[in-house]
Amino acid sequence: MMAIRELKVCLLGDTGVGKSSIVCRFVQDTFDLNTLPTIGASFMTKTVSCGNELHKFLIWDTAGQERFHSLAPMYYRGSAAAVIVYDITNEDAQEYVKFINAIFVETSAKNAINVGELFERISQQIPPLDPSQHNNNGAFKVGRHKVQSGRRCC
């Protein structure tokens, strides 16, 4: 039996950039040109296979309007990933994504391009479950390894 991992994913970005469209394309394989703006946040799930595990994406689609920005931390807290959705013609957004060294996946919900691949990339970034690193509350431990320095004191 495959292990099921629940992965909270939060979509962030300005209003009108396509956050809801990406979620609907991924979960329902649909696109609606007349999607209404999200109020607060919406929630959808989808389970996909990833190696020997099933990843159940718990997807929070947040509102892009300025008046809801104070709510965003409530939705992305505890997330396995945050997806920053932006208009590719927005140079400031492109610079920000480069600055934070984010993984970049160009998508089109309208044309069904790379939406599944986006969530595949998220799955690939999640460390696999290892029984020795797993505790009974569903969390996993991140180990630290000492790195030998090439420098030595006199």
Determine the Cα–Cα distance for residues 142 and 37; give it in Å rounded to an integer.
Answer: 38
Residue 66 lies in a domain: yes
Residue 70 lies in a domain: yes
What pTM was estimated for this model as a whole?
0.78
Range of the domain at 19: 3-125
* Domain at 45, CATH number: 3.40.50.300
Residue 79's pLDDT is 94
Q: Is the pLDDT of residue 84 over 60?
A: yes
Residue 29 lies in a domain: yes
Q: How far is CA 69 from CA 40, 62, 74, 76, 138, in A?
A: 9, 9, 10, 12, 30
Q: Is the pLDDT of residue 70 over 90?
A: no
* Number of structural domains found in the chain: 1
**SS3 assignment, position 74:** helix
Q: Is the pLDDT of residue 133 over 80?
A: no
Query: Residues 87-127: pLDDT tens digits?
Result: 999 999 999 999 999 999 999 999 999 999 999 999 999 88
